[in-house]
């Protein structure tokens, strides 16, 4: 169970708490049968106006970062890795070769706006180790197919905006009696009802009742930055894998999705993002071997 202290922290970050949310929860818990929320999503969205207005100490020189990112994107580097694939019917495990690369449009204005907003949130919440910031960007890039759009949903694959309300390929993606489905949404592709409820409690929003709130960019950025920094998801602290001496980009993925068969892909993206963050970091940041990123492998 998450403490009320985290909800208070969320308020301090500039959130507007949903009027009547606590009362609605209590009402829904009466008796043995759960009641469906009465307000429509549009009504909730109209009342709920998320904001990321806090400004923290500037720790990343944006101009240096984007100049370096332009070089990385224009290098046309392709990272290939092997991933485990399990046959659901037979249980047989095989290995398939996959690849990932930076899209050149990672430096366009649309992507810049989202990445700069992630920087802003990271700085507003106290910053941290620059390698951890790189993992946040690698995670968001991988989970949204390189688009950095919070409107990406698992039910629609890599489509920029997901309009589907169900994902029948996974048990958690099927609609409940209230018409809600808890498939992956947003920059972290949050899945499963319990996770929506827990993250919603941390943010002080009715995410369990209205899962589409995860598509709202300010909330999605908080779910990424605050969630990974606050260990809302899984695994050991990031400093276990990423610190001044260690650059275990692949296993660091366990801080969000320990069951991912594509950890190497996220690790590669994070590693290359760090190559742009390191010279742009306004404090001392450890350098890394430029060849490291292409040597990464799945465990």
pLDDT digits (tens, 9 = 90+) for 157-188: 999 999 999 999 999 999 999 999 999 999 99
Determine the average pLDDT of the residues in 208-223: 95
- pLDDT for residue 34: 67
Q: Report the DSSP pairing between strands 93-101 and 78-86.
A: antiparallel
- Give the three-class secondary structure for 192: coil
Q: With 70 as the cut, is the pLDDT of residue 117 above it?
A: yes
Backbone region of residue 91 per phi and psi (left: phi > 0; alpha: psi in -120 to 50; beta: other values): left
User: What's the average model confidence in pLDDT over 141-150?
Assistant: 95
**pLDDT over 70 at 155, yes or no:** yes
Q: How does pLDDT run across 18-39, given as a tens digit for each residue? A: 333 333 333 333 344 668 999 9
**Rounded mean pLDDT of 97-120?**
94
- Whole-angstrom Cα Rg for the chain: 19
Q: Would you call 172 exposed, middle or buried from its count of C-beta atoms within 10 A (0-12, 13-18, 19+)? A: middle
pTM: 0.86
Residues 6+ apart with CB under 8 A from 220: 150, 185, 186, 187, 188, 214
**Mean pLDDT of the 178-203 span:** 96
In this predicted structure, what is the pLDDT of residue 258?
Answer: 83
* Whether the predicted pLDDT of 9 surpasses 60: no
**How crowded is residue 83: how many other Cβ atoms within 10 Å of its Cβ?**
16
Tokens of residue 48, six digits: 């709920």
pLDDT at position 33 is 62
Higher pLDDT, 296 or 257: 296
Mean of all residue pLDDT scores within the chain: 87
Provide the percentage of residues in the chain whose pLDDT is more than 90: 73
pLDDT class of 120 with cuts at 50, 70, 90: very high
Residue 119: its pLDDT value, please?
97
pLDDT digits (tens, 9 = 90+) for 237-282: 999 999 999 999 999 998 888 888 899 999 999 999 999 999 999 9
| DSSP one-letter code for 153 | B
* Environment class of 116 (CB within 10 Å of its CB; exposed 0-12, middle 13-18, buried 19+): middle
Distance, CA of 214 to CA of 210 (rounded, Å): 8
For the chain, the domains span: 4-295
The answer to whether 62 and 280 are in contact (CB under 8 A) is: yes
pLDDT at 114: 96
Q: Is the pLDDT confidence value at 86 over 90?
A: no
The pLDDT of residue 107 is above 80: yes
Q: What is the DSSP string of 126-148?
A: T---HHHHHHHHHHHHHHTTT--
Does residue 85 have a pLDDT over 90?
Answer: no
Give the sign of the dihedral formed by CA 246, CA 252, CA 255, CA 258. Answer: negative
């Amino acid at each position: 169970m998450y403490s009320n202290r985290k909800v208070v922290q969320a308020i301090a970050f500039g959130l507007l708490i949903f009027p009547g949310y606590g009362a609605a929860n209590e009402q829904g818990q009466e008796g043995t049968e759960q009641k469906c929320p009465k307000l429509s999503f549009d009504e909730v969205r109209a009342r709920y106006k998320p904001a990321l207005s806090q400004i923290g100490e500037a720790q990343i020189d944006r101009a240096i970062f984007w100049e370096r990112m332009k070089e990385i994107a224009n290098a046309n580097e392709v990272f290939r890795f092997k991933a485990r694939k399990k046959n659901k019917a037979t249980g047989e495990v095989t290995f398939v070769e996959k690849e990932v690369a930076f899209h050149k449009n990672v430096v366009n204005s649309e992507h810049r706006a989202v990445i700069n907003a992630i920087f802003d949130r990271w700085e507003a919440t106290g910053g941290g180790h620059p390698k951890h910031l790189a993992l946040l960007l690698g995670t968001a890039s991988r989970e949204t197919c390189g688009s950095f759009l919070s409107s990406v949903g698992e039910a629609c694959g890599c489509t920029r905006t997901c309009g589907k309300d169900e994902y029948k390929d996974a048990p958690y993606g099927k609609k409940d009696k209230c018409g809600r489905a808890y498939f992956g949404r947003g920059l972290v592709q949050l899945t499963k009802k319990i996770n929506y409820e827990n993250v919603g409690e941390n943010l002080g929003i009715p995410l369990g009742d209205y899962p589409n709130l995860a598509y709202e960019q300010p909330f999605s950025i908080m779910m990424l930055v605050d969630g990974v920094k606050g260990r809302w998801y899984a695994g050991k602290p990031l400093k276990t894998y990423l610190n001044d001496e260690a650059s275990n980009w692949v296993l660091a993925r366990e801080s969000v999705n320990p069951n991912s068969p594509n950890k190497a892909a996220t690790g590669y993206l994070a590693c290359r993002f760090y190559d742009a963050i390191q010279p742009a970091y306004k404090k001392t940041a450890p350098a890394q071997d430029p060849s490291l990123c292409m040597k990464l492998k799945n465990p």
